[in-house]
Structure 1
Amino acid sequence: MPTKILLEGRPGVGKTTLVRRLTALLHTRRAVGFTTEEIREAGTRTGFALETLAGGPRAVLAHVDFPGPPRVGRYGVDLDVMERLALPPLRSAAANPVPGELVLIDELGRMELACTAFRDTVRNLFESGIDIVATVHAKSDPFTDALKRRPGIELAQVTRANRDALPEALAARFEGP
């Protein structure tokens, strides 16, 4: 049975760092997916960048200077970034699963979920036989709430107390015999 883990945590708790560390610790599994991170200018958060795993292509996903739509809070979101960078490896994993491949998604947040095609692809992945680790925000959201209720989903809380140990524990689990 495939492993499907949702890592839930508040903003700033270290979910992105956890996914990046997990990616670096994998030696026998190929990871596909993406991470997102804050863009800061003069100490103020002005947007978010999306980067495919293993130092792949990177682009600005959302920024205060982007007009939108859509808009999430004060950020305009460039849905083309989701289409160009995030979706191709995820769609490929869903359509042509490779033994030993692990899908890592950081994150299933409001900006990413503004892309209908992304939501559809995530649904397909969670219905497939593929191993997945995805980060989710702690706030309630109809899409992520439905994922959390799916049978076979493991929900793990990411906190400052456990965030440093989780990457190694997950890597051991996925790299195990």
Structure 2
Amino acid sequence: MLRIAVTGRPGVGKSTVVAKAAERLVREMGLKVGGIRTAEIRKEGTREGFSIRDLATGETGILSHASGSGPRVGKYHVNLEDLEGIGANALRNALACDLVVIDEVGPMELKSDEFISAVEEVLESDRPVLAVLHRSSKHPLVQRIREEFEVLTIDEGNRNELPEKIVEMLR
């Protein structure tokens, strides 16, 4: 069972690399992929927050937004209802899939004990995992993933080749 985590500075393309690798694994190997994907929410070129999507069902919600309530991370408020209702549930349901994608284990996601518990359930399973890790988090869950996973650091020089490398590693 192979477990890969990608990390790097904000905006370098971590989520894009993971998405491209997962799409190729589905297309080329017919793998059933479950888990979550996050993406920026932009309005007129300005980032206002992040969405969260269940890869298996397509259900999408708000992970965080500049307006609203909930625990704060920087200028964003974490939407615990969607993080837990969509995110944690998607991870638990992904245990029935061939590959679990977790995008991302970072400060926003770590505001939820329910999400942390779901990630721990994935880690205790025998499922292959492809995850995005916040680069500087000292949270015990992030530290555990760093110790147990093959960790790849993304930068501008390698981000175009990494999806292929990940696909090859998971074949």
Given that 1:62 and 1:75 are in contact with CA atoms closer than 8 Å, whether structure 2 keeps it comes out as: yes
Q: Which amino acid aligns with 2:34?
A: V
Aligned structure 1 segments of 4 or more residues deviating by more than 4 angstroms: none
Q: Which amino acid aligns with 2:134?
A: H
In the alignment, structure 1 segments of 5+ residues that lack a partner are none
Distance 1:30 1:54 in 2: 8
Please provide the CA RMSD for this pair.
1.7
Whether the aligned pair in 1 keeps the contact of 2:5 and 2:130 (CA below 8 Å) is: yes
User: Which residue of structure 2 lines up, in the alignment, with residue 47 of structure 1?
Assistant: 49
Q: State the partner residue of 1:165.
A: 161
* Matched residue count: 167
Residue 7 of structure 2 contacts residue 152 of structure 2 at CA under 8 Å; is this kept in 1?
yes
Deviation at 1:135, TM superposition (A): 0.4
Residue 129 of structure 1 aligns to which amino acid in structure 2?
Answer: D
Deviates more, 1:82-91 or 1:29-38: 82-91
CA shift, 1:136, in A, is 0.6
User: Matches of 2:86 and 2:136 in 1, distance apart?
Assistant: 26
Alignment of structure 1 residues 21-40 onto 2, 5 Å: 21-26=20-25, 27-40=29-42
3-state SS of paired residue (2:64): strand
State yes or no: 1:121 paired with 2:118.
yes
Q: Deviations over 1:80-128 (max 9, x none)?
A: 112221122311334xx45xx1001110011111111111111121122
Name the counterpart of 2:5: 6
Judge which range, 50-59 or 154-163, deviates more.
50-59
